[in-house]
Structure 1
Amino acid sequence: MSKSTRATQALQKAGVAFETLTYDYDPDADRIGIQAAEAIGVSPSIVLKTLMAEVDGKAVCAVVPSDREVSMKKLAAAFKGKSANMMKPAQAEKATGYVVGGISAFGQKKTVPTVIEAEAMEHAFIFMNGGQRGLQVKLAPQDAARAIDSIVAPVVA
């Protein structure tokens, strides 16, 4: 497995300190983020999943703890929109240039507005997808927010 991806390159370019961790990705896992947390031996609350959605028809990215669900109402409000819905997997892959299970908030094909769940900022470090299945990056949540120029807001249900 390559530890150099568009995501890790974007983090390096942004001058962000991070570590990479690899694990055995399970394509049959019900919840990819939970499986990643178990595989690397950390709490699911600090392994953040990257979700692609639309707010009022425009692509957005939401980064939330893997053991929580996004509130569509809160997601829409975070972007000052009226309604939100999840992208279909094929649409998310096309928008990001990554495959499902390996979608990262870093180094996406096109930059889209991104929100990180406010709870994530309470941790010393978090884990996020590193741009391919079975690859996580460990970094400070403030560095993650800065690297993707995200907003921080409460978006979980």
Structure 2
Amino acid sequence: MDIREIQNLIKFVSKSGATEVKLEMDDFKITIKTTPEGAESTTTYVQQMPVSQALPQAQAAQPTTPAAPVAAVEVNDDAKYITIKSPIIGTLYRKPAPDKPVFVEVGSTISKGDVVCVIEAMKLFNEIESEVSGKIVKILVDDSSPVEFDQPLFLVDPS
């Protein structure tokens, strides 16, 4: 099961009205818990199961492809800022490597297509690109933190 299938499953479960769904495959387990209609949060747990056999070298080395650009949505609280949201679930890293500087800081000016962070999902590092140009006003997630699908990551002032 790839990231897009997991994202589609999350969307389907949240729209279905189910409060909890568990899916077990050979190599991983997924548990999706949703809250009643009035609330907005969805919790998803992905747990990889240990693999008993070593994968052949050709299967183990999968190419890292950048994730689809992040959709930009206006924030309800302050309409002048645009939110960059997570397109996938995983662990957010603000640096390309531990010894490298962060991609963006508060006050950084970004252009459309600039990488703002990396999200690790299932051992793949996905570069998250901005779909808007502007200035980073607020960073909403700490480095090395788990993130959910559609979770706000950065606030951008497009002016």
Question: TM class by shorter-chain length?
Answer: under 0.3
More strand by share: 2
In our comparison, the structure showing a higher alpha carbon Rg is 2
- When normalised by structure 2's length, the TM-score is 0.21
More helix by share: 1
